[in-house]
Amino acid sequence: MREGEHLSAVQTRLLPMGMMELVINLHEDSIPLFDRQSRVQRGSTNGTMLCGTHSENFIAQVDRKISVMGVHFRPGGGTAFFGLPAGELHNENISLDELWQGHAAELRDRLLKTSLKNRFSVLERFLMQMLRSPALHPAVDFAVQQFQRSTLPTVRAVTDQIGFSTRHFNQLFRDQVGLTPKLFCRIQRFQQVLNLLALKNQVNWMDIVFTCGYFDQAHLIHEFRAFADCTPTEYLSRRGFHPCHVELPH
């Protein structure tokens, strides 16, 4: 969970992380939605938004002095709160009202009336009340843990350990996590790159390629274009305060 106050308005690309996110705007009662190519506003949600599991980046408007609360659900963890397969929310950002009806407005109202130090406990209790389904399937839970290791195993190796057919496992994983296992692994590897870059003052791209298991530098550039809509060098010049934030020029 997080809460923050941003100091200037800027459009920012939010890069995929392989998990759902809940966003609650405590400053204004709407959250704008933008076309990721034209950057033109195409609509808005009310003061709450659920971001499904993304394999594409999307644009957020970081407004001046805006107080935001958010929850990053662990991969597959969001499904239990929203009552539908995660795959149906792939690359979608929707108003939480569409899933929780009046409960979304109730949550936001409670948070607005609660002191800053107590907001996280209020949010946590509310989420527990909205819990609708059991935890992750053990096979998916095991696979997620394996796919988040620093040395990524192959999807085939994990599927063989689980003992499911490839087709059955792919469908089960997509229903609960929102992505196919292969796409989830690509995003985890990309996240490894971003986290390594955040730790380095001087970047040796061939070291990054080798450490993160890419075939070559062209493969790495391809993944940056796929997930960030920019080259690795452009990413370094535009990254924001979070590794998954790429600030866009005005």
Domain boundary among 61, 96, 129: 129
Residue ranges making up the domain that contains 150? 138-236
Residue 88 sits in the same domain as residue 181? no
Whether 154 is covered by a domain: the verdict is: yes
**Phi and psi angles of residue 11, each rounded to the nearest 5 degrees, phi first:** -75, 135
What is the signed CA dihedral for 87, 93, 98, 104, rounded to 10 degrees?
A: 120
Mean of all residue pLDDT scores within the chain: 92
- Quick check: pTM over 0.85? yes
Is 98 part of a structural domain of the chain?
yes
Could you tell me if 123 and 183 lie in one domain? Answer: no
Residues 9 and 105 in one domain: yes
CATH for 200: 1.10.10.60
Of the three residues 99, 129, 159, the one that is the final residue of a domain is 129
Q: What is the pLDDT, as a whole number, of residue 1?
A: 47
Distance (Å, whole) CA 222 – CA 183: 14
Nearest to 29 by CA among 112, 150, 118, 92: 112
> Percent of the chain beyond pLDDT 90?
80
Eight-class DSSP state of 239? B
Distance of CA 190 to the CA centre of its chain: 13
Q: Is a pLDDT exceeding 90 seen at residue 110?
A: yes
pLDDT at 63: 64
For residue 193, pLDDT over 90 is answered with: yes
How many beta carbons lie within 10 A of that of residue 140, not counting itself? 22
Are 162 and 210 in contact, with CB atoms under 8 Å apart? no
Which runs of consecutive H residues, i.e. helices, occur in the chain? 79-82, 97-100, 102-112, 119-129, 138-147, 155-162, 166-177, 181-199, 205-212, 217-228, 232-238
Residue at which a domain ends, from 106, 129, 152: 129
